[in-house]
Structure 1
């Protein structure tokens, strides 16, 4: 059986506190969480992708930015984990503000990738 090759993997519900980066075997994980072991977000890089990692910026337990040095353009990856559609409006608005803040860390001449779990709900409304 052939193994799947993954260079960059987005993670939601990491549930780690604080923010930072850590080397896990041959992988590098950048993560961002709060004070409790709830939610949390991360991006996992293989060795090749981690060599291109220029910087990262934790925004919140729902958003993190990684900047990769590349040619001809650098790449900004924004990983998010949205609140569910039944969340309070204040929490949803805060999430969209965090996306805007994250976008501010990516230069206009860089390629920006936005990925994540946008928590859509399906089914009949009761």
Structure 2
């Protein structure tokens, strides 16, 4: 994700009316945030010295004023908290290890994600987004977690994701809404022969009725082999009231005559107090 591609992404987000976007495999080093020339705020978390993996949030100017804080956990997990009504919302962006990774790497990722979930306030609406490199398929093996509107066949990583959702009372949002197949796949192979659904939006089951839709936008120009996956959520944001900084006056601009006058008046008071004290003694 270079500056040119970031400009393309923010332009597409504005065109499609997307207020907050999570990005996987950002491939930036370090952690932090900055404001773009279009007043979008980018919060990112990557490795210290290596340009691989990495996650980020891109927030439009309207939502940026409602951000309570963010936590760059590591190069695969970042969280951000938004002030809203009736509840605050915590978003967690993830980038899971690929299918070629070892079971140990997968377990480490899910353990770290579990720690991030445990740190979220129980009063918050929690939404987890990202590239999970897993296929949950279109056959619902657990109707409490997913619907029948997925894509393709389930694989072992998909089973792991479903079990994780079951343990944390999460629903896989983009398997709950019936869409045309081209609105379901989230990744295209370099030769355009294969289309898979490996990116997901997970949400507390309690709050899934707050979402009106979840689908991909194949026409979005994001210059990526992943398709833009968008969910529509019903909520109201609240701007954060920032405390005004105390006004500091530049005393160097006060005229010399006035400063001499004030100094002389204080000197008279000090001499008067000194005389009274000596009288009492």
Please give the TM-score of this superposition, normalised by the length of structure 2.
0.41
Indicate which of 35, 38, 43 corresponds to 1:30. 43
Q: Are 1:20 and 2:32 counterparts? A: yes
Helix, strand or coil for the counterpart of 1:60?
coil
Query: Post-superposition shift, 1:85?
Result: 2.1
**Matches of 2:27 and 2:33, distance apart in 1:** 14
Query: Post-superposition shift, 1:71?
Result: 1.4
Q: Are 1:83 and 2:83 counterparts? A: no
Q: Which has the higher strand share?
A: 1
TM-superposition CA deviations, 1:78-124 (whole Å, max 9, x none): 0001111221112111110111121123100110001001113689x
Segments of 4+ moved more than 6 angstroms: none
**Structure 1 gaps, min length 5:** none
**Matches of 1:95 and 1:47, distance apart in 2:** 31
Indicate which of 119, 131, 136 corresponds to 1:117. 131
Query: Post-superposition shift, 1:50?
Result: 0.8
Aligned to 1:11: 23
Q: How does 1:95-110 map to 2 (within 5 A)?
A: 95-110=109-124
**Structure 2 gaps, min length 5:** 1-14, 136-151, 154-281
Helix, strand or coil for the counterpart of 1:30?
strand
Indicate which of 55, 63, 80 corresponds to 1:66. 80
**Matches of 1:102 and 1:92, distance apart in 2:** 15
**Matches of 1:120 and 1:109, distance apart in 2:** 29
Indicate which of 42, 45, 62 corresponds to 1:48. 62
TM-superposition CA deviations, 1:41-63 (whole Å, max 9, x none): 00100001111110000111000
Please give the TM-score of this superposition, normalised by the length of structure 1.
0.90
Bigger Rg, which one? 2
Greater RCO between the two (CA within 8 Å, min separation 6)? 1
